[in-house]
Amino acid sequence: MKKSAIFVLIILITGLFLSFTSFFSEKNSIKKEKYLSIENAVKNKIISAELKGSSTYSGDAINLKIKNISPVDTIIRIEAGRR
């Protein structure tokens, strides 16, 4: 009985430790990410972008190819209504 109580206690402490470490690692990784608009990313030569209209106003209206040309991981945001 005593061995099973110690085993359960070790499992609970391990789970608690892992939940705290994953919480803090996710919080720090969010700060490292860089969010850019597509306009700023192209101007600063972080990405190259090729945009082609498909001549429609619904469905897949554009074809957009983006290539990261910098060594930095970047998240690009394309704003709604972007012109």
Q: pTM score, two decimals?
A: 0.50
Residue in 35, 37, 62, 39 with CA at minimum distance from that of residue 51: 62
Q: What residues contact residue 67 under an 8 Å CB cut-off, 6+ apart? A: 47, 48, 49
Rounded Cα gap, residues 28 and 41, in angstroms: 23
pLDDT for the residue 48? 92
Write the pLDDT tens digit of every residue in 7-58: 888 888 888 777 766 665 554 444 445 678 888 889 988 899 998 887 777 7
Dihedral sign (CA 52, 58, 60, 66): positive
Average pLDDT value for residue range 70-82: 82
Helix boundaries (H) for the chain: 2-32, 38-43
